[in-house]
Structure 1
Amino acid sequence: MSDRIWRCRCGAVEATVAQVPQSGVPAVCYCTDCRAFARLHSAADTLDTAGGVALYSTTSDRLRILQGAEHLGCQRLTRRGPLRWFTTCCDTPLGNTAPFRGVPFFSLMTAGLEDAPKPRVRLHRGSATGRVPRPHGSLYALALGVARRVLASRLSGRWRDTPFFDADGRPVSKPGRPDGDDLRLAYGART
Structure 2
Amino acid sequence: MKIVELECSCGTVKGRLKVVPGSFFHVHCLCRDCQKFAGYLQNKDKILDEHGGSELFQTYPAYMEITEGQEQIRGVQLTHKGIYRWYCDCCKLPLANTLRSAKVPFVGVSVKLMKFASEQQKIDILGPVTLKAFGKYAIGDMPKDAHMRFPRTFLPKILAFMAKGFLGAKSRPSPFFIGDAPVAKVHTFFDKAE
What is the TM-score of this pair, normalised by structure 2? 0.82
Q: 1:5 to 1:139 in 2, by over 3 A?
A: farther
- Report how far residue 141 of structure 1 moved: 6.0
Aligned counterpart, 1:174: 185
Q: Which amino acid letter does the alignment assign opposite residue 40 of structure 1?
A: Y
Aligned counterpart, 1:91: 92
**Alignment equivalent of 1:152, drawn from 143, 152, 164:** 164
Aligned counterpart, 2:119: none
Counterpart Cα distance in 2 of 1:5 and 1:141: 32
1:55-134, aligned counterparts within 5 Å? 55-115=56-116, 116=122, 117=126, 118-134=128-144
Q: Which amino acid letter does the alignment assign opposite residue 7 of structure 1?
A: E
Contact 2:96–2:107 (8 Å) recurs in 1: yes
Q: Percent identity?
A: 27
Counterpart Cα distance in 2 of 1:15 and 1:144: 31
Counterpart Cα distance in 2 of 1:82 and 1:55: 14
Q: Which amino acid letter does the alignment assign opposite residue 177 of structure 2?
A: F
Counterpart Cα distance in 1 of 2:99 and 2:68: 23
Q: Which amino acid letter does the alignment assign opposite residue 30 of structure 1?
A: L
- Report how far residue 26 of structure 1 moved: 1.0
Equivalent pairs, count:
180
- Report how far residue 151 of structure 1 moved: 1.7
Aligned counterpart, 1:43: 43
What is the TM-score of this pair, normalised by structure 1? 0.83
Counterpart Cα distance in 2 of 1:80 and 1:12: 30
Aligned counterpart, 1:164: 176
- Report how far residue 21 of structure 1 moved: 6.1
Q: 1:36 to 1:14 in 2, by over 3 A?
A: same
Partner of 1:17, secondary structure, is strand
Partner of 1:162, secondary structure, is coil
Q: Gaps spanning 5+ residues in structure 1: where?
A: 185-191
Q: Gaps spanning 5+ residues in structure 2: where?
A: 117-121
1:131-146, aligned counterparts within 5 Å? 131-136=141-146, 139-140=151-152, 142-146=154-158
